[in-house]
């Protein structure tokens, strides 16, 4: 009888609660600071951006937060997602390792992002919000927000980083097809956008600037619009934990438990989604799973950045948080993994990396695309460039198992497909992608502009 390689749960197994890492954090939470006073923010400051129900989730220390039934009903359009053993990849690598991947590309927009988009729009609609504004890097978050807003008849504006706006026109078309409005950032619509265009007329844009433009639009709307972030904040990562919660049950079906869990990490949402339920087992049940966060070598906030208080956005208008950062003024090169071009990392991920609970690793763009192509040619799925970072490290770890003659169980998160990223693959196959090294000079220049927080 052939071994089973595809582990599916039926609709009844869509998780009923999100997992909240705040309940188990092994270190004290750092305060969120006001960008003007540099003192802890008040609910009044944050309520301009978010409804109270969202703020309560952000600050909650409850381990399990109930998922409203209307959100679960929407989840059933694509959840539960499959856990697949990559047997053909294992054979190609000739490794004794067992490699599994959680495939989030089956959602309507092809990525993990709707897991929080639907939830955020639901809570905003319930709170009476009239419109939502956000940013997007590669367009996956923008696509998910546009879809979710269409579900709830909510107007949506999206500031899309210019290099991705130009590289990935089909993502823009998807956003517009759902009825949202999308702008190429930097724009002339905001003070932050105009200032950047004046400084650098040829700017490719960057996620930190798109965030500035989105937050400025909300702050100047007279209370008519709210902000919906795609990553970094605790409640965003919490919504994504449906990924890891399902994966735990699916690993039980497979009769194995992971020795390592690997995820790509740009701002931290998909990484927290796959990793945090396993981190929970490590922290509360004595499990020893290695948790590995993978970032691009050209934007290495965890591996080369500083763990410090910094602004969340380029214009210094948003909250100051403690995180691994390259400096809010850092402008990463225009790599194809647009969802990973952010100067910082989620505060909770940063704290766990700093405490030694999570390993951080950086990989280059060429080796990442090589892994993506190998995966596609064995497993058939063309991965998003962001997801390919996790594939690269999964392959490296499997080859290390081969070298050592060790059987390890590896689980990684395949956060989305790359069907709208084919220009990236065309560039790779035709030699138009070149490694970009982060110079110490550029890094130190950006770090020199970190805010001087009195408590540090």
**Neighbouring C-beta atoms of residue 176, cutoff 10 Å:** 13
Asked if residue 452 has pLDDT above 90, the reply is: no
Is pLDDT larger for residue 436 or for residue 41? 41
Cα three-residue angle 45-51-56, rounded to 5 degrees: 85
Residues 121-149 as b/e (b if ≥16 CB within 10 A, e otherwise) read bbbbbeeebebbbbbbbbbbbbbbbbbbb
The upper half-sphere exposure of residue 229, i.e. CA atoms within 13 Å in the direction of its Cβ, equals: 31
89-131 residue pLDDT tens: 999 999 999 999 999 999 999 999 999 999 999 999 999 999 9
How far from 418 is each of 5, 61, 104, 112, 386, CA to CA, in Å?
23, 36, 12, 13, 9
Asked if residue 312 has pLDDT above 80, the reply is: yes
Band of the pLDDT at 338, cuts 50, 70, 90?
Answer: low
Asked if residue 1 has pLDDT above 50, the reply is: no
Determine if residue 139 is left, alpha or beta; phi over 0 gives left, psi from -120 to 50 gives alpha, anything else beta.
Answer: left
Asked if residue 454 has pLDDT above 80, the reply is: no
31-76 residue pLDDT tens: 999 999 999 998 888 999 999 999 999 999 999 999 999 999 999 9
8-32 residue pLDDT tens: 999 999 999 999 999 999 999 999 9
Asked if residue 146 has pLDDT above 50, the reply is: yes
CA 390: distance to chain centroid? 12
Q: Which of 22-36, 237-251, 269-283, 337-351 has the lowest mean pLDDT?
A: 337-351
Q: Which of 149-153, 186-190, 450-454 has the lowest mean pLDDT?
A: 450-454
Region 345-372: mean pLDDT is 97
Question: What is the DSSP code string of 119-183?
Answer: HHHHHHHHHT---EEEEESSSHHHHHHHHHHHHTT--EEEEEEHHHHHH-HHHHHHHHHTT-EEE
Mean pLDDT over each residue of the chain, to the nearest integer: 94
Structural contact between residues 353 and 340, judged by C-beta atoms closer than 8 angstroms: no
Band of the pLDDT at 337, cuts 50, 70, 90?
Answer: low
Which pTM does this prediction carry?
Answer: 0.96
297-308 residue pLDDT tens: 999 999 999 999
What percentage of the chain reaches a pLDDT higher than 70?
Answer: 98
Specify the 3-state DSSP secondary structure of 289. Answer: coil
Specify the 3-state DSSP secondary structure of 368. Answer: helix
Specify the 3-state DSSP secondary structure of 256. Answer: coil
Q: Which of 199-208, 229-238, 328-337, 398-407 has the lowest mean pLDDT?
A: 328-337
Q: What pLDDT is stored for residue 168 in this prediction?
A: 86
Q: What pLDDT is stored for residue 340 in this prediction?
A: 82
Q: What pLDDT is stored for residue 318 in this prediction?
A: 87
366-414 residue pLDDT tens: 999 999 999 999 999 999 999 999 999 999 999 999 999 999 999 999 9
Domains with residue ranges and CATH for the chain: 42-53+60-67+112-227 (3.40.50.1100), 79-110+234-447 (3.40.50.1100)
For tokens 């050592």, what's the residue? 404
Distance CA 267, CA 411 (A): 20
Number of alpha helices (DSSP H) and beta strands (DSSP E) in the chain: 19, 15
């Amino acid at each position: 009888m052939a071994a089973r390689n595809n582990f599916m749960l039926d609709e009844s197994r869509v998780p009923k609660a999100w997992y909240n890492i705040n309940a188990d954090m092994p270190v004290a939470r750092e305060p969120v600071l006001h960008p003007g006073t540099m003192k802890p923010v008040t609910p009044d400051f944050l309520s301009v951006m978010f409804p109270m129900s969202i703020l309560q989730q952000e600050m909650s220390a409850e381990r399990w937060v109930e998922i409203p039934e209307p959100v679960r009903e929407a989840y059933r359009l694509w959840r539960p997602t499959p856990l697949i053993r990559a047997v053909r990849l294992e054979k190609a690598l000739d490794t004794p390792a067992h490699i599994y991947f959680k495939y989030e590309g089956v959602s309507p927009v092809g990525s993990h992002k709707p897991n929080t988009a639907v939830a955020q729009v639901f809570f905003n609609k319930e709170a009476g919000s009239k419109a939502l504004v956000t940013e997007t890097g590669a367009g996956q978050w923008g696509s998910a927000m546009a879809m979710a807003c269409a579900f709830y008849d909510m107007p949506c504006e999206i500031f899309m980083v210019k290099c991705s706006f130009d590289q990935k026109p089909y993502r823009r078309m998807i956003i517009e097809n759902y009825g949202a409005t999308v702008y190429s950032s930097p724009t002339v619509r905001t003070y932050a956008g105009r200032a950047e265009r004046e400084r650098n007329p040829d700017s490719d844009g960057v996620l930190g600037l798109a965030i500035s433009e989105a937050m400025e639009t909300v702050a100047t709307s007279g209370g008519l619009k709210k902000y919906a972030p795609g990553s970094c904040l605790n409640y965003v990562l919490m919504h994504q934990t449906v990924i890891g919660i399902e994966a735990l049950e699916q690993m039980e079906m497979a009769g194995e438990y992971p020795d390592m869990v690997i995820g790509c990490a740009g701002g931290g949402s998909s990484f927290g989604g796959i990793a945090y339920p396993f981190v929970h087992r490590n922290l509360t049940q004595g499990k020893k799973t290695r948790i590995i966060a993978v970032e691009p070598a050209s934007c290495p906030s965890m591996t080369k950045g500083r763990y410090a208080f910094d602004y969340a956005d380029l214009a210094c208008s948003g909250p100051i948080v403690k995180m691994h950062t390259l400096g809010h003024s850092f402008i990463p090169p225009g790599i194809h993994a647009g969802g990973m071009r952010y100067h910082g990392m989620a505060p909770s991920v940063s704290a766990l990396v700093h405490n030694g609970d999570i390993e951080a690793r950086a990989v280059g763009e060429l080796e990442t695309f090589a892994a993506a192509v190998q995966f596609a040619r064995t497993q058939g799925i063309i991965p998003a460039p962001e997801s390919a970072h996790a594939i690269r490290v999964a392959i490296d770890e499997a080859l290390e198992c081969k070298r050592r003659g060790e059987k390890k169980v590896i689980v990684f998160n395949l956060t989305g497909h790359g069907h709208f990223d084919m220009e990236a693959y065309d560039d790779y196959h035709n030699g138009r992608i070149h490694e970009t090294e982060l110079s110490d000079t550029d890094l130190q220049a950006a770090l020199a502009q970190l805010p001087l927080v009195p408590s540090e």
